[in-house]
Structure 1
Amino acid sequence: HLKKEARRLPLANPAPGHSVTSPFGVRTDPILGTAALHSGMDFRAPMGMPAKVTAAGVVTKAGWNGGYGRMVEVDHGNGFATRYGHLSEIDVTVGQKLAAGDIIGKTGSSGRSTGPHLHYEVRHNGDAVDPLRFLTVGKKVAQYL
């Protein structure tokens, strides 16, 4: 039972082998040039790379979402959700059940973006939290799941 619950936590890296180009936290907005909260992490990714969900869950949003461009949001239960933004293509539908590692779409530069990348967010009860905290734990516990 514990393993099943743990697989619903967003512990996997959404873009393994790809560097982080912009971490979570306050930064200079690349378009406006003013200080603003970056609510996720950006991973360098070529246009059209498969984007994979980081944990099991259900798709709650799949479509255009303002500055996120083409975005997928997945509910993982226990108040946790993840968002995948600036996609060039979406390959899932609202209500679809996913396993960790399933492809949800392809990376891109849609919406408010300066080039192809994957914007990744972890939210808990609606609030953005630093995804790095989950990736760090994920590296440590992966062998047990």
Structure 2
Amino acid sequence: MKKIFYLGILALLGLTSCEKDDFCTSSPVTPNLVLRFYDNSDQTKTKNVSRLSIIAQGKTDSLVINQSLDSIAIPLNSAATTTVYTLKINEVDGKVANNQISTLTINYKAQEEYVSRSCGYRYIFNNVTVTAPSGTWIQSLTPTDVNTIDNQSRAHVKIYH
């Protein structure tokens, strides 16, 4: 009888000392800036960008190389207050001489936010402003001011070209 009693206590201690598994179900944790490309002549229709390449300032690797797409999600540097991307398109033939280049400058304030023990921390971006120089293939942007980027379920900025 004593053996059963001690085995019961040992089993009870074993079952109560287990810790619940923690899994991060938030993916991605830190949101990207979502850009959507629109036709400047009919601003209600999306328009693919031909042979788009994107590279971050100070980097040598491209984020995107020669893609044709109508939207893209790009990461922001959480350790800085500004991220600059060079966006290059070539709607003619793919030759370097026909490349059109524009620079996209994104200013923001990154705020660290605790998600959970398994996910850790994430960043949300507040007071975001997006600018592109005039006279490039990017004809306009809306909105130029985004209050908060805390998810990437929809486009944050519309680019008209």
Provide TM-score, normalisation by structure 1: 0.29
Higher relative contact order (CA 8 A, sep 6+): 1
TM-score, with normalisation over the residues of structure 2? Answer: 0.27
